[in-house]
Amino acid sequence: MRTIKHTILFPLLATALAGCASPETTRKEMESWEGRPVKELIAAWGVPDRQQMFEGKRFYTWVWRGAQGSVAVPDVSSNAQAPTRGMGYHMSETQAYCERVAQVDEGVVQHMTWEGNGCTGFGRKP
């Protein structure tokens, strides 16, 4: 039984960790836009989902949702009288989300903030 648990848990853990990037990597990717013209950011990420003005500064927001990978999920019986866990597994996509906000002053990105589990890969390409 112990071998079965390790055989199942290790791939699940490896898959979950594969979708994770270090906070340092994400921070560096987002900071790569600071000091750059906002036009470059819009060319790379597309039209922002939202734009706001606050205290003389403009904020551009992009929201991304998608799949981050797949994990094995145990099959479960839907029998109301005797629900049981099945013998098999099926693959299920894990959901990823990233909200990125650029603070812009006079057309130049001053600061970037982000929130979510899918915020890697948005850095500036040289």
* pLDDT attached to residue 89: 64
**pLDDT tens for residues 57-84?**
899 999 998 876 666 666 666 655 655 5
What contacts 6, CB < 8 A, 6 or more positions away?
Answer: none
Helix (H) or strand (E) holding 4: helix 2-18
- DSSP label at 46? -
* pLDDT attached to residue 126: 75
Block residue for tokens 């490896």:
14
* pLDDT attached to residue 19: 46
Residue 88 near residue 58, CB atoms below 8 Å: no
User: Which residues of the chain, if any, have pLDDT below 70?
Assistant: 1-21, 68-93
Predicted TM-score of the model (pTM): 0.65
